[in-house]
Structure 1
Amino acid sequence: MIPTLDLDCQTCGACCAYSSDWPRFTTESDAALDLVPAHFVAKDQRGMRCEGARCSALSGRVGSQTSCLVYDVRPDVCRACMPGDHACMIAREAFFLTGKAV
């Protein structure tokens, strides 16, 4: 059996605070982008607005308790990020968060 990681996004948030280059709009339709509240969209309209490296839609404290304020209308890149995937683990490492094998 291959070990999996017991990771909970709502106690992490690292991927949402790791890089301002991460939350970019790529394959979303104009209609989908219109659903994202304007104050969360970057001035250049190419992605989510970030405060430093952190997405402005991330609420809470990384590594403790977090949530996405636009979860239902989040960009495709955010939907594609899965707990324990390569991007997740890079972001977790940057915040010194470890995964627990189960």
Structure 2
Amino acid sequence: MSLFLFLLVVQAVVAAALVGIILIQRSEGGGLGIGGSPSGMMSARGAADFLTRSTRWLAILFVVLSIVLAAIAAKSSGSGVSVESTLDRAPAAPAQPVAPPPSDDPLADVTR
């Protein structure tokens, strides 16, 4: 169970980083748009490439963590309940409507 909690925290951090990286990017693909030398890592193009690569790897990590967490959760449930066994059960009987208590007043039925 501690592995599950650890991976859940890691996934939350990855999700927050993914949201942050996506929000930093400019919509037209310009990246941070910060100044500096026209060549090099922190030019507008270099920042956009870095953010694009970061987004891709964080998204891949997020999907992989989601699959691993789902597999751990399915394995740890271990109750032996599967979709097939729940479908084999008989449906529950429908609830009977509750009738109002009988009244001593003979006109009570007329006014309802």
User: Do Structure 1 and Structure 2 share a fold, with TM-score over 0.5?
Assistant: no
Question: Would you tell me which structure has more helix in proportion to its own residues?
Answer: 2
Between 1 and 2, higher relative CO (CA 8 Å, sep ≥ 6) is seen in: 1
Query: TM-score, normalised on structure 2?
Result: 0.22
Higher Cα Rg, which structure? 2
